Amino acid sequence: MIKQTFESEIGESYVKAVLPSGLQIFILEKPQYSSSYAIFGTKYGSIDTAFSVNGEKVCVPEGIAHFLEHKLFESEDGDAFTKYAETGGYANAFTSFDRTCYLFSCSDRFYDNLAILLNFVQSPYFTEQTVKKEQGIIGQEIRMYDDSPSWRVMFNMLLAMYREHPVRIDIAGTEESIAKIDAALLYKCYETFYNPSNMFICIAGNIDTDKALKQIESAIRPCECAELERITANEPDTVCSGYTEQSLEVAIPMFCFGYKETVEKPERTLKEKVCTSLLLEVLAGDASPLYARLVKEGLINDEFDSEYFTGYGYSSVIFSGESSDPKRVAAEISAEVERLKTEGIDKKLFSAVRRRMYGDAVRRFNNVEGIAMQMVDCAMSDCGLFDEIKYIKSVTSDDVYRRLSLLDNEKTVLSVINPKENGK
């Protein structure tokens, strides 16, 4: 085991260990806290539908990563949730575009809960009968999200923005795609992506690092490493359509307005992410002139938000919220982008935004769940837990200004969910 300790200027420290299998482990002790949080995750998400294993190209149905997450809680000797109920731990899991994570939180019996996590994530059990049953359950989930305005406004935008990249498809897949999943495919994906070399464990809270490392090391099962290569979609720079709309049960129109970024390399650096986050605060954060103007004119409410939406092979800037006039909001954002390109970044506003972002980054270390989730980001992007704070302190307004180039008003998509008229 390779073990390193990292310290920061804010008085926090953590341990990163790498087992011979390649499994990464991050642990940050919070002895003064009563709770602990642990995540066992894999770099495997909904976009991983085409890949190569030991030179063999494999294509799988959309939604299989999410399907696998559901099935992994089951085993021959019972359901993992039942075991957590006996220890008093709260358990959950999620699948996103690029990762799948299994987690628990507890205030007692941490090592018993950790044993459950280590066991069920490494114990796949799939049969044709249980797979068929799950197809019906996930089919209902897909139909439920089809009627969710907040879900549809986002994925309608992605469908209009991306032509080839699988980020355009719902994380759960479609009813047609999940019908193609069988036990053999689940085992194939499990053996490929649930290899320790592709996985990570992140822990924060009132625990003993050495005791946790010893328990993990003894529980990780030997596994032969495979040569895994993700196959990137050939995504064009242009969007499919600049506008898309749908009518659902909402009181006021909802919108997502996105800028598609040209992807020259599969992944963005942490510095690029920090600079873009700062840019969004300067451009449309609640201290910005644009935000004040939109609120004053009644065009947005406190649901308005922005994010840098990025992962392997895709990247975009997204503004979302509710508005009686989404097209006007989109036009105002576009105009503000062009104004900043011409006039530059207000240095006083930039300094204020950067100070607030630094404070927010420091405060996240007061929450064990937030710490564990940050560790997951570190495992996914191969960066340090304190690197974000370092970049926030060091980036300049010129660095942020240069990120404006990714906002091309010729590559935008506005997705709108309108209220149904007369119940139709």
Distance of alpha carbon 404 from alpha carbon 402, whole angstroms: 5
Task: Please give the pLDDT value at position 265.
Answer: 81
Distance of alpha carbon 50 from alpha carbon 62, whole angstroms: 10
Task: Please give the pLDDT value at position 422.
Answer: 60
β-bridge pairing 254-260 and 100-106 = unpaired
Integer angstrom CA distances of residue 179 from 49, 67, 100, 131 = 15, 11, 21, 10
Q: Which helix (H) or strand (E) holds 229?
A: strand 228-230
384-400 burial code (b ≥16 CB/10 A, e <16): bbbbbbbbbeebebebb
Residues β-bridged to residue 233: none
* Interval 87-143: pLDDT, tens: 999 999 999 999 999 999 999 999 999 999 999 999 999 989 889 988 999 999 999
Both structure tokens of 55: 């030179």
Residue recorded with tokens 């085409």: 50
Q: Is 366 exposed, middle or buried (0-12, 13-18, 19+ CB in 10 A)?
A: exposed
Residues β-bridged to residue 419: 248
Q: Is 148 exposed, middle or buried (0-12, 13-18, 19+ CB in 10 A)?
A: middle
Residues β-bridged to residue 246: 417
Identity of the residue numbered 125: Y
- N-terminal to C-terminal alpha carbon distance within the chain: 62
Residue recorded with tokens 């976009």: 47
Say whether 329 sits in a helix, a strand or coil.
Answer: helix
Say whether 376 sits in a helix, a strand or coil.
Answer: helix
Q: Which helix (H) or strand (E) holds 392?
A: helix 387-394
- Asked about 235 being catalytic, the answer comes back as no
* Interval 293-329: pLDDT, tens: 999 999 999 999 999 999 998 999 999 999 999 999 9
Say whether 417 sits in a helix, a strand or coil.
Answer: strand
Mark the ranges of the chain whose per-residue pLDDT is less than 50.
none
Say whether 29 sits in a helix, a strand or coil.
Answer: strand
Q: Is 423 exposed, middle or buried (0-12, 13-18, 19+ CB in 10 A)?
A: exposed
Distance of alpha carbon 405 from alpha carbon 192, whole angstroms: 38
Which is catalytic among the residues 9, 29, 56, 69? 69
Task: Please give the pLDDT value at position 424.
Answer: 52
